[in-house]
């Protein structure tokens, strides 16, 4: 009975040890998420600017 308890105790000890040793999967942090969002936003804004960029019309160019 004592031996059985010792084995169970050892198993429990090993299991809890494994929990500490096991590395957590790396997670995408907030800094990366906000950086990606910022970059995406500037890219979208550049697209908008390009599409609405004002320019001089051909009729306003003096020819000949």
Partner 1 sequence: MKKITLTLLSITLFLLVGALSVSAVGESNNPLRADARAKVVELRENRLENKLIWASNVELRTQIKLKLIDIKNNEIILDESIKTQLTTLTTDLKAKYTALKDTKGDIQALSTGIKALIEAKDWATLKTTYEAIIAIQLTRNGLLHEINDLLTQINNLLP
Structure tokens at 27: 């997670």
12 vs 36 by CB, closer to partner 1: 36
CA atoms of 4 and 10, how far apart (whole Å)? 10
* Distance of closest approach, residue 23 Cβ to partner 1, in angstroms: 13
Contacts of partner 1 in 2-61 (CB under 8 A)? 26-28, 31-32, 35-36, 38-40, 42-43, 45-47, 49-50, 52-57, 59-61
Residue bearing tokens 């390009």 = 50
15 vs 56 by CB, closer to partner 1: 56
CA atoms of 43 and 39, how far apart (whole Å)? 6
């Amino acid at each position: 009975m004592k031996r059985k308890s010792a084995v169970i105790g050892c198993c429990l000890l090993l299991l809890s040890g494994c929990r500490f040793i096991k590395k957590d999967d790396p997670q995408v942090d907030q800094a990366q998420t906000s950086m990606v969002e910022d970059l995406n936003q500037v890219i979208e804004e550049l697209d908008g600017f390009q599409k609405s960029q004002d320019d001089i019309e051909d009729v306003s160019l003096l020819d000949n």
